[in-house]
Amino acid sequence: MDTPFWLAEEAPPVEELTLEAVDVEIIGAGITGCSCALALAEAGKRVRVLDRRGVAEGASGRNGGFALRGAAARYDVARETYGADAARELWRRTEAELDRLEELGGDAFRRTGSLRLAADEEERDEIRAEFEALDEDGFGCEWRDQLPDLLSPHFRGAIFHVGDGALQPARFVRGLAAAAADAGVDFRGGRRVESLDELEAEHVVIATDGSGRGLISELDDAVWPARGQVIATEPLPERLFDCPHYARHGFDYWQQLPDNRIVLGGFRDFSILTEMTDEEVTTEEIQGALDSFLVELLGTKPRVEYRWAGIFGLTQDLLPLVGPVPGRDGTWVACGYSGHGNVLGLLCGRLVAEAVLGRRDPLHAVFDPARLLQIETR
Ligand SMILES: Cc1cc2nc3c(=O)[nH]c(=O)nc-3n(C[C@H](O)[C@H](O)[C@H](O)COP(=O)(O)OP(=O)(O)OC[C@H]3O[C@@H](n4cnc5c(N)ncnc54)[C@H](O)[C@@H]3O)c2cc1C
């Protein structure tokens, strides 16, 4: 029961390759590590990916399957907090990354759009401000006052984000890993890195999002592990939702899959302190809240066939850390997507690869790890 629905399908075989010496070692075989590995291998680097589990067995195979543009903050808030130019660049680049996801994703990705719902009047004002900011800057979105009968008793309006989509995240990342292996990347599953001193390559990339505690202490202070819990029902007899839906500031999220199952996650705020953990287990409290919401939303109680938990990395400003770790030559990081890592992880894996290759990108300044990392005196 605690296997995520996404990981339950059979994984395609990944070409096995053992390299004697490598230029770059990447810790973490999720979307970030695989994206980074592929970019570096395509640039001619010899690359090894190490993971204590297998490909996509961390958050990348345990999430809600939402593929959204932008970052974890609302666009209007992002403009104020990060600056208008940085926010615009970030939203523009994640839209382009969604196009790339569509190109690479095959049947793992559906370009459905997504619906952000307001649960009360206050949230309605907030998302209305987001809608106006997006519209002003030319990002595709539609305001919805009229909601379908199923949603109208619970919600007070919504933004439809036109270019977003729905992802089978494990299938997508396994495909990415297969492409990286074809490009010559050496994948080592079942290999836990206890200390960076074990590694030999000139460059090490930490791609562990919220589950890399203990690797380097300054990262432990800057990226806080958070647990998300999810359920997947049996297939329903009817089609109710055409695209991913989310509400209550993203705390609750659900989508209906092509076989009509509902995947529903969230309610972390029902026990926010106990959910700030990297213990990957489900709890009665959150699972109970998910079950109750399902009944409230659907008016029926479908059988729940899968229940699981996953860990993601939160940062203070809700932006990831991507680039060099200050004071540690040859150590690089890409993590801390704050629950928004499907599209950003694909992008940031490539951005950190670009940094390792010595190439500049305007987003490096926005995601610079130095803004949150203190130099460790060792
Ligand atoms: C329940 C849940 C729902 C989410 N929903 C969404 C969503 O709908 N949309 C969205 O965009 N984002 C979502 N996210 C966030 C998203 O899943 C993550 O941000 C993203 O998958 C991070 O990918 P990653 O490759 O950076 O890290 P991960 O996929 O977590 O991979 C990190 C890997 O590092 C490995 N690792 C850690 N430490 C070590 C070590 N010491 N040695 C070796 N290996 C190690 C782990 O085994 C793991 O495989 C959700 C997350 C969760 C948990």
Q: Evaluate: CB of 331 within 6 angstroms of ligand 1.
A: no
- Region 186-215: mean pLDDT is 97
Q: Evaluate: CB of 61 within 6 angstroms of ligand 1.
A: no
* Structure-model confidence comparison of residues 12 and 97, the more confident one: 97
Q: Evaluate: CB of 246 within 6 angstroms of ligand 1.
A: no
Kind plus residue range of the DSSP H or E element containing 59: none
pLDDT for 6 equals 98
Q: Evaluate: CB of 53 within 6 angstroms of ligand 1.
A: yes
Q: Which of 29, 16, 25, 15 is nearest to 57 (CA)?
A: 29
Q: From the alpha carbon of 348, which atom of ligand 1 is closest?
A: 26
User: pTM of whole model > 0.95?
Assistant: yes
In the chain, the amino acid numbered 14 is V
Q: Evaluate: CB of 310 within 6 angstroms of ligand 1.
A: yes
Q: Whose CA is nearest to atom 49 of ligand 1?
A: 58
d(Cα 229, Cα 206) in Å, to the nearest integer?
24
Model confidence at 45: pLDDT above 60: yes
* Structure-model confidence comparison of residues 68 and 273, the more confident one: 68
Question: Tens of pLDDT along 174-184?
Answer: 999 999 999 99
Q: Whose CA is nearest to atom 3 of ligand 1?
A: 63
Ligand 1: centre distance to CA 152 (Å): 33
The confidence band for 153, taking pLDDT boundaries of 50, 70 and 90, is very high
Ligand 1: centre distance to CA 210 (Å): 7
Question: Tens of pLDDT along 108-121?
Answer: 999 999 999 999 99
The confidence band for 37, taking pLDDT boundaries of 50, 70 and 90, is very high
Question: Tens of pLDDT along 315-338?
Answer: 999 999 999 999 999 999 999 999
Considering the domain delimited by 1-10+20-224+317-378, tell me its CATH architecture. 3-Layer(bba) Sandwich (3.50)
Question: Tens of pLDDT along 238-248?
Answer: 999 999 999 99
Model confidence at 286: pLDDT above 90: yes
d(Cα 356, Cα 152) in Å, to the nearest integer?
49
pLDDT for 378 equals 55
Q: From the alpha carbon of 312, which atom of ligand 1 is closest?
A: 53
Ligand 1: centre distance to CA 212 (Å): 10
Contacts made by residues 178-182, CB under 8 angstroms, sequence distance 24+: 178/12, 178/14, 178/15, 179/38, 179/104, 180/34, 180/37, 180/38, 180/41, 180/47, 180/49, 181/14, 181/15, 181/16, 181/17, 182/15
Q: From the alpha carbon of 313, which atom of ligand 1 is closest?
A: 19
User: Backbone phi, then psi, for 130, in 5-degree steps?
Assistant: -65, -45
Outline where DSSP puts E strands in the chain: 24-27, 47-50, 66-67, 109-110, 114-117, 141-144, 158-161, 165-167, 186-188, 203-206, 224-233, 245-247, 252-256, 262-266, 304-314, 321-324, 331-335
pLDDT for 12 equals 86
Q: Evaluate: CB of 62 within 6 angstroms of ligand 1.
A: yes
Q: What is the mean pLDDT of the chain?
A: 96
Pair 361, 347: CB distance under 8 Å: no
